[in-house]
Amino acid sequence: MNPPSARGRPVPRLEIGLVNNMPDGAVSAAERQFRGRLEALAPEFDIRVRLFRLQSVARSAFTLSKMNGRYENAARLAEFDLDAVIVTGAEPRAADLRDEPYWREFEALVGQVVARSLPCLWSCLAAHAAVLCLDGVARRRLGVKRAGVFAWRRLEEPPALAGLPPQGLTPHSRYNDLAADDLAAKGYDIVSWSPRAGVDMFVKRCGGEFLFVQGHPEYEADTLLREYRRDLARWMEGEGPPPAVPSGYLLPALERTLDRLSSGHDRDAGGPRALALAGMLEEFRPAAAWMPAATAIFASFARMAACEKARRPASRVLANATGT
């Protein structure tokens, strides 16, 4: 039985599966971030999160020891009585997603979600992989990493996603992009658009309602900062070009200064440029200006899942409960 709300009405209970594909260093943070966004929806919803992982995503022995007993094999997802699924992105390794070691397992995951008609939120790289798997829509490589906090406006409000604000902010952190024309040609509806970041959110019904998010509304205030410092350290060690300074995230004067300091080619980690960068970032205290929009996005997704659950035939509920 669902617990009563403060007004005496039952609170919808939702079982949401979180398939966490983030690399070892970000597994715990991703779990915490998505749980945080979902838990913030109380008391409107009573949400229970069940954790899953793809077996073919490379993991260290230490990370596996932390996940064992808590994370289920994603191949068993259909055995659980889930009302919705969230699938995180992963750190890109291959130019073509079909060359990633987890691709076949990811395809099977998509098949399970479609077959069970489950609402699903596909995040960042998972959104890119899902549209490639479903409709052959290929992502496009960006010239530089798209990192920062970008303003978007809602182009339409699909009935399944009631409550989205007309505009908002969302962090983005990606090397690839999906073109609006490519998506529209395959029947995807663009929900929100950013003049600087392009397609933000889009939807399509694939058994259940699918919400695709190119950005990261789940991010905490300091996530972009930690990613930038990681990318900066890699550059100083000789890996790749200087990282893009997160746009619209830092104080404007700090952003301009970091742009100038990181525009050189000196990778000497002990040099004055590296010390200056490190010192500036150490003093910065970010704020999560996107949180109101993030809460609205996850609330809309939860309402969508609750509506789908209410329409679910009794035979489907029994099948889910028995794992058949």
Check residue 6 and give its pLDDT: 45
Look at residue 8 and tell me if it is in a domain: no
Burial of 221 (0-12, 13-18, 19+ CB in 10 A): middle
Inter-residue contact 54 to 18 (CB < 8 Å): no
CATH number at residue 131: 3.40.50.880
Same-domain pairing of 103 and 205 = yes
261/189 same-domain check: no
Same domain for 121 and 30, yes or no, is yes
Query: Residue 153: inside a domain, yes or no?
Result: yes
Residue 128 near residue 97 (C-beta atoms within 8 A): yes
3-class secondary structure, 112: helix
Please check whether residue 7 lies inside any domain of the structure: no
- Per-residue buried b or exposed e for 295-309, using 16+ beta carbons within 10 Å of the residue's own CB: bbbbbbbbbbbbbbb
pLDDT, one tens digit for every residue, the chain (324 residues): 455 554 556 789 999 999 999 999 999 999 999 999 999 999 999 999 999 999 999 999 999 999 999 999 999 999 999 999 999 999 888 999 999 999 999 999 999 999 999 999 999 999 999 999 999 999 999 998 999 999 999 998 888 888 899 999 999 999 999 999 999 999 999 999 999 999 999 999 999 999 999 999 999 999 999 999 888 888 878 787 788 899 999 989 888 888 887 776 555 544 566 667 777 888 889 999 999 999 999 999 999 999 999 987 654 544 444 443
Q: In Å, what is the CA distance from 60 to each residue of 25, 65, 141, 277, 319?
A: 10, 9, 29, 31, 36
Which has the closest alpha carbon to 284: 203, 222, 211?
222
Q: Is residue 194 part of a domain?
A: yes
Report yes or no: 153 and 192 within 8 Å, Cβ to Cβ.
yes
CA distance 196 to 272: 32
Burial 258-281 (b: 16+ CB within 10 A, else e): beebbeeeeeeeeeebbeebeeeb
Q: Is residue 249 part of a domain?
A: yes
The three-point CA angle 51-57-62 to 5° equals: 75
Domain that holds residue 245: 223-283
Whether 213 is covered by a domain: the verdict is yes
- DSSP character string of 270-282: TSHHHHHHHHHHH
Say what the pLDDT of residue 153 is: 97
Distances (CA, A) of 141 to 128, 203, 236, 247, 269: 11, 22, 23, 19, 29
31 and 169 both lie in a single domain: yes
| pLDDT of 174 | 94
Q: Tell whether 277 and 292 lie within a shared domain.
A: no
Cross-strand partners of 153: 167, 193
Catalytic sites, residue numbers: 124, 216, 218
pLDDT at 161: 86
Other CB atoms within a 10 A radius of the CB of residue 94 amount to 10
- Paired sense of beta strands 208-213 and 120-123, if any: parallel
Helix (H), strand (E) at residue 233: helix 223-236
**Residue 238, Ramachandran bin (φ over 0: left; ψ between -120 and 50: alpha; else beta):** left
88 and 176 fall within a common domain: yes
Judge if 20 and 158 occupy the same domain: yes
Question: What is the rounded CA–CA span in Å between residue 251 and residue 288?
Answer: 13
CB 258 within 8 A of CB 243: no
Q: Do 83 and 155 fall into the same domain? A: yes
The pLDDT of residue 136 = 98
**How far apart, in Å, are the Cα atoms of 17 and each of 37, 77, 197?**
14, 8, 28
Q: Examine the domain organization and report whether 115 and 198 are in the same domain.
A: yes
Q: Looking up tokens 């073109």, which residue turns up? A: 179
For residue 5, the SS3 value is coil
Whether residue 4 is contained in a domain is answered as no
